[in-house]
Amino acid sequence: MHFELTILGSNGAIPAYDRHPTSHFLNYNGDGFLLDCGEGTQMQMARYNIKRGRLDHIFITHLHGDHFFGLMGLITSFNLNYREHTLHIHGPKGIEEIVRAHFTYAQTQLRYPIEFHIVTDDRPQVVYENSQLTVESIILRHRIPTTGYLFREKPGQRKILPEKIALHEIPVSEIGKIKQGADYTMPDGSVIANHDLTTDPAPARSYAFCTDTVYTETFLDQIQGVSVLYHEATFVNMHRERAAETMHSTTTEAATIALKANAGKLIVGHYSARYEDLAPLLAECKEVFTNTELAIEGQSYII
Amino acid sequence: MHFELTILGSNGAIPAYDRHPTSHFLNYNGDGFLLDCGEGTQMQMARYNIKRGRLDHIFITHLHGDHFFGLMGLITSFNLNYREHTLHIHGPKGIEEIVRAHFTYAQTQLRYPIEFHIVTDDRPQVVYENSQLTVESIILRHRIPTTGYLFREKPGQRKILPEKIALHEIPVSEIGKIKQGADYTMPDGSVIANHDLTTDPAPARSYAFCTDTVYTETFLDQIQGVSVLYHEATFVNMHRERAAETMHSTTTEAATIALKANAGKLIVGHYSARYEDLAPLLAECKEVFTNTELAIEGQSYII
C-alpha cells in the first residue's frame, strides 16, 4: 500500500520566504487526507499536483488561523468544481460555526454535504476508521484546545507461501482463514502450523502529526514506535524562552520526543518567520535524534 | 504625486494557473489602500515587495470568498508583527461579525484597533476622505450586495509662474491665496488676473474598481472620465450565458462601459478558471475599447 506524506505548508504563523502556513497531505493508497489547512492550501495543492477528487477527510488541529484559514477557500472551490460527495471535517468546537457563518453571509448553498466531527481535547480517541486505517486524536498542550492526529495502518494479513500451499494441496477455500493466522488440518488429521504456511505481514506503519504544542510527554505511550513523527519545532534552543511564552517547542524538545517515542523518523516544521536559513534547526535536532528531516514544501516522504 | 496600482490577484473565484483571487493594491504617495483581499493576498504582498506599514485602509466589495478570504490572515500577521495603529476595514454588513467570530474562537486579543465602516449598497456615497483623496462607493449588481470603489484625487492648487511673481514683486504672504485662484491687487490698485500668474493644476486622476457585477450603466455618470477603470470581465462573449447566470460580465460588456464612461484606460480581470490563455479576452475588449490592458499579477500601472 502506498503511504505518502506531502508537505504543503511548512511555516509557523507568519508566512515568509515563500514558506506557507501549515498543511500536510497524506495519500494512503489513493485516498487523500488533509492535516490542517493554512491560508493558500488550495493553491499549494495545485502547485504540487495533489489530486483533490479523493480528498474526503480534513483534520484540523486547532483554531489558530495559520492552521485553518485556507479551509473556506478549499470548501468553496470544491463547490465551484461541482463536488457532490460528502466532505468530512474533523476539528475542534467552533469550526462548524465559523464555516457556516461564512456561507450565511455569502448566501452560498453548497452542492455537497459537509459533516463536521468535533474532536475534543479531554482524552485521545479514535476519531476516524476505515478498513485500512485508524486515526486517533493526540492531546497536545497549546494556548487553546489542540489535538494532533495519529494515522495507523491496521495490521495486514499474513503472507501466504504459495509453494507450501501447493505442496500440501490446500484448497483455495482455506486460504482466507490461513491468511488470518489459522493452522491447517490435513485430511489425515495432522495439523500444519500457520507459521509453516505463511510469513509475517509487513509491519503496520503510522504517522503522527503533532502541532502546535509545548514539550509534553503525555502522548509518548500512544505514539511509541511510530514510523514517522512530525513534531513542530518553531524555535532553535537559543529562543527557548520565546517558545515557552508562545507555547511552542524547540528543536531539541521535538527531537527528544522522537527519541523517547522510538520514532523511525522525525520531520520538523512550523518554523518561526525569523529563520530564513533552516540548517541550524536541523543541526540541533540531529544532535539528539539523527534521523531528522526538515519539512520542505512540495517534498514527499514515504511513510 | 505618485498614484500606482499593483495587481495582487487577477483571477475569478477558483485560483488557477498561478493566478490568485482578487486583490488590488493602490499606492498614493506612500499611503497604501487594499481593494479586496482574496486568499493568499498577504503572500502576494510579500512576493511583490508591497510595504504593509502604511496600509491603513482595506475596502471589500462583497462577501464572496474570493474577495475576502485573505483578510483574516492579513489581520493576524499584522498582529504578530506588532502593529499598533488602527486598521480601517470598509465593507458590507457581515464583515465585522465574521472577523470577530474568528478571534473569539482563536482567543485572540489584537494589539491594535480595527474600525469597521459598513458600506451600504443603497446609494453611492463618499466612504472615506483625506486631504488628498476621496473614495466613493459604486453600486454594482451581483448575486449579493456589492459595491465598487472610486478613488478620486482632490483638485490640486494652481501652479505659480515664478517669473511673474518676481516681475510684479508679489510678497510671499500672497502666494497661498494666488495658488487657490485669487487675483492680485498691486499697491497702485491695479489688478493682475490669476491666470496671468498661474497655470492650471495637473488634472485630478481617478481609479474605479468595479467587481463583481453584471453589465449595468447605473454608475456611468459617476465614473465619467475616470483615468483608469478596472472592470471585471470574467467571460469571453461565447460564454455570455454563463456570465448572465452567475451575474458576471463579458469582455465586450466591460469594454462598452469603458467606452461609454470615456475612461482613459480599461484594465480587465477576474478571469474564469476555464481560460488558461488570456489573449482572446484582451482581443475582444480591444475591439470595443482600444486602450485595454489585462490585469497581470505583480504588474504595476501608473494612474
Average pLDDT over residues A127-134: 96
- Which of B65, B70, B81 is closest, CB to CB, to A106? B65
- Which of A46, A65, A107 is closest, CB to CB, to B72? A65
Alpha-carbon distance of B295 to B291, in angstroms, equals 13
pLDDT of residue A202: 85
pLDDT at A54 over 90: no
Chain B contact set for A22 (CB, 8 A): none
- Copy the grid coordinates of residue B289: 475599447
pLDDT of residue A1: 84
Q: How far is A210 from chain B (nearest CA, A)?
A: 18
Q: How far is B85 from chain A (nearest CA, A)?
A: 19
Chain B contact set for A40 (CB, 8 A): 39-40, 43
- Is B76 within 8 Å of A66 when comparing Cβ atoms? yes
- Which of B18, B65, B94 is closest, CB to CB, to A72? B65
Q: How far is B19 from chain A (nearest CA, A)?
A: 9
- Is A63 within 8 Å of B13 when comparing Cβ atoms? no
Looking at the DSSP assignment, which residues form a beta bridge with residue A169?
none
pLDDT of residue A181: 92
Residue in B with minimal Cα distance to A104? B94
Show which residues of A are catalytic. Answer: 66
- Is A64 within 8 Å of B106 when comparing Cβ atoms? yes
Q: How far is CA A123 from the centre of its chain?
A: 18
If interface means Cβ-Cβ distance under 8 Å, which residues of chain B face chain A?
13-16, 18, 20-21, 39-40, 42-43, 46-47, 63-66, 69-70, 72-73, 76-77, 80-81, 94-95, 97-98, 101-102, 104-107, 143-144
What is the four-CA torsion angle of B234, B235, B236, B238, rounded to 10 degrees? -170
Q: Is residue A90 classed as helix, strand or coil in its secondary structure? A: strand
Q: pTM, whole model, 2 decimals? A: 0.90
Looking at the DSSP assignment, which residues form a beta bridge with residue B206?
B152
pLDDT of residue B202: 85
Q: With bands split at pLDDT 50, 70 and 90, how would you rate the model's confidence at A53?
A: confident
Quote the DSSP letter at residue A175: H
- Start-end of CATH 3.60.15.10 domains in chain B: 3-156+202-293
- Is A107 within 8 Å of B73 when comparing Cβ atoms? no
- Is A72 within 8 Å of B81 when comparing Cβ atoms? no
DSSP chain B: --EEEEEEE-B-SS-BTTB-S-EEEEEETTEEEEE---TTHHHHHHHTT---TTEEEEE---SSGGGTTTHHHHHHHHHHTT--S-EEEEE-TTHHHHHHHHHHHHT---SS-EEEEEPPSSS--EEEE-SSEEEEEEE--SSS--EEEEEEEPP-PPEE-HHHHHHTT--GGGHHHHHTT--EE-TTS-EE-GGGTEEPPPPPPEEEEE-S--S--TTHHHHTT-SEEEEE--B-GGGHHHHHHHT--BHHHHHHHHHHTT-SEEEEE-B-TT-S--HHHHHHHHHH-SSEEE--TT-EEE-
Q: How far is A101 from chain B (nearest CA, A)?
A: 7
The residue type of A77 is: S
Q: What is the ipTM of this complex?
A: 0.87
Residue in B with minimal Cα distance to A46? B16
Alpha-carbon distance of A198 to A162, in angstroms, equals 9
The fraction of chain A above a pLDDT of 70, given in percent, is 100
- Which of B15, B76, B95 is closest, CB to CB, to A43? B15
Residues A191-222 pLDDT 10s: 999 999 999 988 899 999 999 999 999 999 99
Q: Return the number of other C-beta atoms located less than 10 Å from residue B234's C-beta.
A: 30
**Site from A69, A79, A242 to mutate, B interface, most B CB atoms within 10 angstroms:** A69
Average pLDDT over residues A15-33: 96
pLDDT at A155 over 90: no
Residue in B with minimal Cα distance to A44? B18
pLDDT in tens, chain B (303 residues): 899 999 999 999 999 999 999 999 999 999 999 999 999 999 999 999 998 778 999 999 999 999 999 999 999 999 999 999 999 999 999 999 999 988 888 888 899 999 999 999 999 999 999 999 999 999 999 999 999 999 999 988 899 999 999 999 999 999 999 999 999 999 999 999 999 999 998 889 999 999 999 999 999 999 999 999 999 999 999 999 999 999 999 999 999 999 999 999 999 999 999 999 999 999 999 999 999 999 999 999 999
Residue in B with minimal Cα distance to A20? B43
Chain A contact set for B50 (CB, 8 A): none
The residue type of A64 is: H
Q: Are B257 and B228 in contact (CB under 8 A)?
A: no
Q: Is residue A237 classed as helix, strand or coil in its secondary structure? A: helix
DSSP B205-269: PEEEEE-S--S--TTHHHHTT-SEEEEE--B-GGGHHHHHHHT--BHHHHHHHHHHTT-SEEEEE
Helix (H) or strand (E) run with residue A43 in it: helix A41-47
pLDDT of residue A245: 96
Q: How far is B243 from chain A (nearest CA, A)?
A: 14
pLDDT of residue A228: 98
Chain B contact set for A64 (CB, 8 A): 106
Any residues with CB less than 8 A from the CB of B197 and at least 6 apart, and which? B160, B161, B164, B165, B168, B170, B178, B184
- Is B64 within 8 Å of A97 when comparing Cβ atoms? no
Chain A contact set for B21 (CB, 8 A): 73
- Which of B18, B94, B143 is closest, CB to CB, to A105? B94
- Which of B15, B77, B98 is closest, CB to CB, to A46? B15
The candidate with the shortest Cα–Cα distance to A115, out of A31, A58, A42, is A58
If interface means Cβ-Cβ distance under 8 Å, which residues of chain A face chain B?
13-16, 18, 20-21, 39-40, 42-43, 46-47, 63-66, 69-70, 72-73, 76-77, 80-81, 94-95, 97-98, 101-102, 104-107, 143-144
Q: How far is A238 from chain B (nearest CA, A)?
A: 20
pLDDT at A274 over 80: yes
Q: How far is A73 from chain B (nearest CA, A)?
A: 7
Known active-site residue B66: yes
Chain B contact set for A36 (CB, 8 A): none
Residue in A with minimal Cα distance to B48? A18
Q: How far is A198 from chain B (nearest CA, A)?
A: 51
Q: Are A198 and A158 in contact (CB under 8 A)?
A: yes
Report the top-level CATH class of B3-156+202-293. Answer: alpha beta
Q: Is the dihedral of CA B298, A74, A209, A4 positive or negative?
A: negative
Report the top-level CATH class of A3-156+202-302. Answer: alpha beta
Alpha-carbon distance of A224 to A262, in angstroms, equals 6
- Start-end of CATH 3.60.15.10 domains in chain A: 3-156+202-302
**Site from B23, B39, B60, B80 to mutate, A interface, most A CB atoms within 10 angstroms:** B39
Q: With bands split at pLDDT 50, 70 and 90, how would you rate the model's confidence at A3?
A: very high
pLDDT of residue A108: 83
Top-confidence residue, A156 or A273:
A273
The residue type of A104 is: T
